[in-house]
Every structure is written in structure tokens, then in C-alpha cells.
Structure 1
Amino acid sequence: MPAKNPYLGSLSILTSLFFMWGFITCLNDILIPHLKSIFILNYTQVMLVQFCFFAAYLIVSVPSGYFVERFNYQKGIITGLALASLGCCLFYPAAEWLSYPLFLAAFFVLASGITLLQVAANPYVTILGQPETASSRLTLTQAFNSLGTTLAPYFGGLFILALPVKTTEELKSLDAEALAVYQSAQAQLVQLPYLWLAGSLLAIALVFALIKLPTITPSAIEHSGTDRPVNDNKNAWHYRHLLLGALGIFVYVGAEVSIGSFLISYLGEPAIAGLSAQDASHYVSFYWGGAMLGRFVGASLMQRIPAGKLLAFNACAAVLLVLIAMSWNGPIAMWSLLAIGLFNSIMFPTIFSLALNRLGKHTGQGSGILCAAIVGGAVLPVVQGLFADRIGLQAAFFIPALCYGYIAYYGWRGSRFGVAGGASVPE
């Protein structure tokens, strides 16, 4: 980030948000095998965790976009933090009452707060600086999101997976009393970490309530040079590159979440690594740590390489790695799947910033549309779970392979278009 950017201080403060929602989102990957064991669920049933979490993006994103446009980015951030804190608090009674439906409700409320945070913070970062460096700027702040996702598996493995997770066969061998004791002990491990998270989110909300961030109005965006919309009379839904970008966000988040959600189970497969859930949780950090490293490198590369071309290259590399993970066994398959994180690194911020290019006063609405597309994280893991229950976990990774194929197309061609009718958008 160039030091001459007058908004450098504000961007530095905003990085805390990217860290927190990355940390919280990645904890789902730890909770999935944990809840699968507590409630004796199959892959399809446990993927309702991701369905409820990411369904919030579909339901809450567009209203959040209007909220941000009606009020401002700072109030959107504060409200989102408070709502996310409430969601974390709901984990306590869910664990106390051993209620899977209440766990799912807690995931939805938590994700609703994070959705509002993303709708406010992502476009805010693209606006605070020169339009031509928006992809690089958002990629750099997203690197701190990846720092959160890298640390979360260690945190979750240490506290949430502190007790060994039993397999389905082991659970079936327990009598009713022993099973109740096991379920209660495992569920209680969730309570304290999520209370800590609730307190941290409230503390950050207080900080944002006390500081003064730059006020960016729709009219200021509208007249910000190259960020001016191609056709001022149309709303965000008329921009082809935005709609193709929304599909790109849908399949990207679906692929990323699917891989992360199944990683612990994949690494536990005897033909791959045969790791316990706690040991496998440590390797999940390599997946998210690769994304963090790639974002720092990518932010620099995009100062010299067109963002769309770098996006297409990374997507092609991800397709190749998924195919290897599907076809091979042992360490080669294991590290191929983990290495996908490195190439995931620039995808979300690059698709997001390319899709918002030249939307002008429709940026808030466009951000809401893109965040709604994050619902891919709700849909595609469940689809992969359905296939995993039928054709096997390893073969089911064809779902993310298809997703990365579309992203390669968007980076190479789809991101070049603007309004319906063929107006081009520079990369």
C-alpha cells in the first residue's frame, strides 16, 4: 500500500475486521467434525452448518447493501459487529441444551453480522484509494483475513478438539449413559471460546463507535474518475461483469468452503494420511496459511500484472491440484489439496474488485449482490456432501474442480465486460 494514500490509517484499522471474520469463519471447519461426532451425523447432515452459515449471505446481503447506502459504512460495521457478537453468545445455550437446531440458528445469526461487515468493509476498502489499485488494496487487507483463518485451526484444535473425537462406530458401541456424558463434555468445549469471541467483537464495535472514519458518499463515488459508472441511468443489476462476478463469487466461496470443510475428514482417510481429527486440524492451517502468503505476494504482483490474467492463472493451477488430490493417494494427494490455498489467495478480492469496477453510486448495491453470492458456501458443500455419501469423499472433489474452471473463464474473459450491450471494462 503506497504511503501517500491519505486513508492509510483508516485502512489499517479496517484490517482488524478482516482478521476477525476470517478467524470465525474458519472455526466452522473445526466445529464440523466436532458436531458430526456429538450428534452422530452423516456428511450431508453436518454440512447444514455451512448451509445455515452461508445462507445468511443470500438473505441478509441485499438488505445490508441498502442499510449501508441509507446510513453509512461505519454504522454498518458497528451493527455487524454487535450482531455477530450476539450469534457467538447463542453457542452457549446451544451447547448447554445439546441442541443441533439451536447451533444452526447461532451460525445463522453470527453469519448475518459478518455479512453486514463484509457488505460495508469490502467496498469501503476499494473506495479508499485510487481505483486502478483497488484489487491490490483489497487483496492486501484480505491477507489479514487469511491470518485469521490460519490461526483459527490451532485455536480450535487446542480448545474445541481438546478431547479425542470418537468415530461413528465407536459412538454406536456406547450405552445411553456413556453417550450422554460424552456428548455433554464435547459440547461444553464450545462454550468458553465463543464467549471470548463475543467479548472481542463487542470491544471492536466500541472502538469503531469511538473513532472517526472518512465519510464516503454515493455522489463522491459517482464522480471518482475511472470509477464512474458506464451508464448512469441503470442500476447495478444491468452490469454484465458484475453478474458474472457474482457467479464467480458463488463458485469460489463454494469451492473454498467445500475444501476447508472436508479437509479434516480427507486427511483422516487411511489412503491419504490417516490422521486423527486433532492432528489433522493443525494441517488445515497450511491450507489457510497458503492463502495468506499468496495474498501478500499477489498484492505486489497485481501492481505489475493485470488482475484478470493473474486470476485466470491461479484458477487453472487450482484445477490441476484438485485433479491430483482426486487421483492420487498418500502425501502427494494430501499436499496437493493443501496447496490449493496458495492459489485461492487472490481469488475473492480480485473477483470482488473487478466486479465492482465502474459501478459508481451503485457500488453499495453491487457489494450487496456480490455478498449475497457468498451463499455458494451454503450450497456447494452440501452438494459435495451428497456426492461424498454416495461416491466417496475423494471423488466428490470434482465439485470444486468445476468451480475453478469457471473462475479461470471469468479472469480471462468475463471480467472485461460492463453494462449489457458489450461496454468493456479495463482490467
Structure 2
Amino acid sequence: MDIKGNTGEVTLTGTSQPSKTNHGAIALMVSLFFIFGIITVFNDVLIPHLKSVFDLSYIQAILIQFTFFSAYFLMAMPAAKVIERKGYKQAIVIGLLTVMVGCLMFYPAASMVFYPLFLLALFVMASGITLLQVSANPYLSALGPSETASARLNLAGGFNSLATVIGPLIGAHFILSSSEAQRGAEAVQVPYLTLAFFVLLVAGIIYFYQLPVLSIESTASKKKGAWKFRNLRLGVLAIFLYVGAEVTVGSFLINYLALEDIAGLSEQSAARYVSMYWGGAMIGRFIGVAFLNRVKVTNALTVVSTVAFFLVTISILSSGSLAVWTIVAVGLFNSVMWPCIFPLGIKGLGEYTSEGSGLMIMGVVGGAVIPLLQGVLADYWSLQYSFCIALVCYAYIAYFGYINGKMTQK
């Protein structure tokens, strides 16, 4: 990787590693992960609020997550094209402005009290976040030695989790509090206008900042065939199921804790536990910054996914405080899954890394599909037992960690 004087351009060629870590660029990428977190976790507050406003079934309410995370699947490859044509810096600015437009669309959606317009606004926001994700993950992985890529992604994930801790508290105050809830759909206008202003501010800072531009050789960006790598195929499914499990637990948590057999909490009180759920992920990710440098990534992934499996099982089969705290504790063990899965999925791809990264990001569509499946189970079976779908997800992730450990030994 060559760093070219005042231009701030960084050129990544093949699989070469940078001569030194660019801390300024890392800091800016981490700020983007904070934005991902606070916008994504607001959906957990939107679901119970709009379910009440529009008198929706679980399936209809979970269309919020389905619409949001479908954008990752539909827009990941177009996002890669934008990066190829505009470069990383301009792509990031375009992504932030797209997110801002989506936030602004909440104002007319609330004024008209029109659910489909809410869904369209969510899709626009998620399209912008997809562009940011496709840019930030491989870029951050490249800003230092490959051996510490998991630690860098984990650091960014920690700040992402910080946002997910703050988000439910803000959402509960402005959207779920009794005084605001009386305003119905209009309760979302102030929070999303504030988010729009914040995102515009970050876009302006990045536009005027000398952000290093990571460019990949043209032969690398046009090379196709990443799907032939087994670890990538397994990794895409692992990302699909990990994001699906993490999102579906957070999405249904407020309604789950409101059940009389579980805790019988009000929506506003239950939102505090959503904050704790994401707070566990934050704590785990900051611990993982040091932890993942000392243990084998495949072993760490197998252990945390196995523990998550058993925690969900206990919550399903119990009630009261035990059911509450075991499901909330799942967030702690979700913490290091993404920074373990993503590097394992693109490991050894070489000139196919760009394509492989796009395919891995497309796997985030799991956040659309898995909650929708749980919504069906919740409507036609039981909300508590619908969490069985998370068990399938964690079982596969444990397998992915185990099988990758075996592949590394060969």
C-alpha cells in the first residue's frame, strides 16, 4: 500500500499490507459505525410504536425490519459500482446524504399517517447505510495488518454498540413516553429530523476532510468468481444468520418483555432492557479488542455462539426474571460475532476480495428475513416459542466457527 503525500491517496494492490496504520482514517470509519448503530436500533422502538398506531399484526409490524434490511441485499452490488466509479470518499458522502433524505421522509410520513411511506423512508435510509457499510468494512480491514483486522472491526463495533445503547433510551423518551405517544405517528418527527441534521453534519466534515482514498487495482475490482471459495460461501450464510438472530431478538424484545408470563412491562420500561441488550454487545466488543488478539478467532466464534444458543433456550423454557436476563444476556455474546465472521469469510480471496466483501454485505438481508419468519411464528404459534428461530441461527454460526478451525489446520 502506497501513501501519496498531500493527496491523501492510499492504493491497495493485491494482498499487500500497509506499512503503517492510519489512525485518522480509522477514527472516521469508527464514526460511521456509530451512525449505523443509532439509526438501525431506532427500528426496535419504531416496531412497537407503529404497531400500536396502525393496529398492526406482528407480521405487518416486522415489515419495518424486512424493508430496512432488504436494502442491503438489493443495493449492495449497486453500492460497489458507486464506489468503483466515485471512489470511497465520495461514496461515503453520497451514502450519508441518502441516509439524510430517508430521515427527512419521516416528517411527511408522520403528517400523512401513511404506513407505506414510513417503509419507503426506511428503505431509502437503509440504501444509504448499505453504501456506507460496503465502503467501511473492507476499508477498515485494509487499514493495518490482516492479523489485527478483527480487532479493528471489533473497535468499530464497540462504538456501533455504544450508539445502540443510547438509541433505545432516546427513542423511548421521544417516541414511547406517554406524552409523546398521544401524538401518534407524529412522535417520530423530532427524533428523525435531529438524525437528519446530525448525518448532514458528518457528511460535511468528511467532505472537507483529507480522508485517504483507498483504490483497488482495476483488475481486482473487475475480477469475478469469489463464490468458488468455500469459506466465502459459508461466511455469507453465517452473516445472514448472525444479523438475522441479532436483529430478531432486538426487534421482538419490547413485546416479549411485555408478556405477563415474562415480565409484564410497559413498552417504555421494556425499552430500557433493549438498551441493556445492545449494551452487552458494546461491552463485549470493547473487551474483544484485546481478547481477539490473544485467542484463535474460530475458537472464540464457536464458544460465543454456543453460549448464545443455550441462553435463548433457557429463556424460551422459563419465565419471569430468568427468561428476561437470559435473553438480554444474548447481546453480550453477539458482540464479537461480526468481527470474527467477516474476516473469516473474505480470508484468502486475494483479487476477489472486493466482490467477496459485497457478497458478505448482501448477507445482511438476514435482518429482513429472519425477523419476518419469527413474526409468522409469533402470530400463528407463540411469541415466546418463536425465538426458536434464533436457535437455528446460533447453531449454524457455531458450526461455521468449528469448520473454519478445521480448514485452518489443513
What is the match of residue 211 of structure 1? 209
Aligned residue pair count: 392
- In 1: Cα distance, 2:224 partner to 2:63 partner: 37
On the 8 A contact 1:244/1:414 being kept in 2, the answer is: no
Residue 72 of structure 1, CA deviation: 1.9
Q: 1:264 aligns with which of 229, 254, 263?
A: 254
User: What one-letter code is carried by the residue in structure 2 that aligns with 1:293?
Assistant: I
User: What one-letter code is carried by the residue in structure 2 that aligns with 1:278?
Assistant: Q
1:126 counterpart = 2:126 = no
On the 8 A contact 2:223/2:352 being kept in 1, the answer is: no
What is the match of residue 322 of structure 2? 332
On the 8 A contact 1:221/1:360 being kept in 2, the answer is: no
User: What one-letter code is carried by the residue in structure 2 that aligns with 1:217?
Assistant: S
What is the match of residue 357 of structure 1? 347
- In 2: Cα distance, 1:83 partner to 1:364 partner: 23
What is the match of residue 296 of structure 1? 286
What is the match of residue 32 of structure 2? 17
- In 2: Cα distance, 1:425 partner to 1:192 partner: 54
- In 2: Cα distance, 1:208 partner to 1:372 partner: 25
Q: TM-score, normalised by structure 1?
A: 0.88
Q: 1:50 aligns with which of 50, 62, 65?
A: 65
What is the match of residue 385 of structure 1? 375
User: What one-letter code is carried by the residue in structure 1 that aligns with 2:186?
Assistant: Q
Structure 1 pair 415–85 and aligned structure 2 pair: CA distance change class (3 A): farther
1:62 counterpart = 2:52 = no
Structure 1 pair 196–415 and aligned structure 2 pair: CA distance change class (3 A): farther
What is the match of residue 176 of structure 1? none
Q: 1:152 aligns with which of 149, 167, 175?
A: 167
- In 1: Cα distance, 2:133 partner to 2:219 partner: 18
1:407 counterpart = 2:397 = yes
Residue 187 of structure 1, CA deviation: 1.0
Deviations 1:160-203 (A, max 9, x none): 1122799xxxxxxxxxxxxxxx5xx1111100110110111111
What is the match of residue 310 of structure 1? 300
User: What one-letter code is carried by the residue in structure 2 that aligns with 1:400?
Assistant: A
Residue 233 of structure 1, CA deviation: 7.2
What is the match of residue 132 of structure 2? 117
Structure 1 pair 413–165 and aligned structure 2 pair: CA distance change class (3 A): farther
Residue 237 of structure 1, CA deviation: 1.9
- In 2: Cα distance, 1:240 partner to 1:24 partner: 33
User: What one-letter code is carried by the residue in structure 2 that aligns with 1:41?
Assistant: L
Deviations 1:70-113 (A, max 9, x none): 33221221111010000000000000000000001011000000
On the 8 A contact 1:265/1:277 being kept in 2, the answer is: yes
On the 8 A contact 2:280/2:335 being kept in 1, the answer is: yes
Residue 221 of structure 1, CA deviation: 11
Map 1:219-258 to 2 at 5 A: 219=217, 235-258=225-248
Residue 14 of structure 1, CA deviation: 1.6
- In 2: Cα distance, 1:209 partner to 1:236 partner: 32
- In 2: Cα distance, 1:406 partner to 1:366 partner: 20
User: What one-letter code is carried by the residue in structure 2 that aligns with 1:110?
Assistant: M
Q: 2:272 aligns with which of 263, 272, 282?
A: 282
Structure 1 pair 131–425 and aligned structure 2 pair: CA distance change class (3 A): farther
- In 2: Cα distance, 1:122 partner to 1:268 partner: 36
- In 1: Cα distance, 2:397 partner to 2:201 partner: 37
On the 8 A contact 2:174/2:180 being kept in 1, the answer is: no
Structure 1 residues 353-362 or 301-310, which shifts more? 353-362
On the 8 A contact 2:224/2:355 being kept in 1, the answer is: no
Deviations 1:116-167 (A, max 9, x none): 100000111100000111111111111100001010010001111122799x
On the 8 A contact 2:151/2:293 being kept in 1, the answer is: yes
- In 1: Cα distance, 2:76 partner to 2:270 partner: 33
Q: 2:187 aligns with which of 172, 186, 189?
A: 189
- In 2: Cα distance, 1:165 partner to 1:299 partner: 39
Q: 1:94 aligns with which of 109, 112, 117?
A: 109
User: What one-letter code is carried by the residue in structure 1 that aligns with 2:372?
Assistant: V
User: What one-letter code is carried by the residue in structure 2 that aligns with 1:387?
Assistant: L
Percent of pairs with identical residues? 47
SS at match of 2:176: coil
- In 2: Cα distance, 1:233 partner to 1:258 partner: 35
On the 8 A contact 1:65/1:367 being kept in 2, the answer is: no
- In 1: Cα distance, 2:97 partner to 2:84 partner: 19
- In 2: Cα distance, 1:280 partner to 1:164 partner: 17
On the 8 A contact 2:180/2:187 being kept in 1, the answer is: no
Residue 220 of structure 1, CA deviation: 10
- In 2: Cα distance, 1:188 partner to 1:250 partner: 33
Residue 356 of structure 1, CA deviation: 1.6
SS at match of 2:300: helix
- In 2: Cα distance, 1:212 partner to 1:237 partner: 35
Q: 1:202 aligns with which of 200, 209, 212?
A: 200
SS at match of 2:354: helix
1:27 counterpart = 2:38 = no
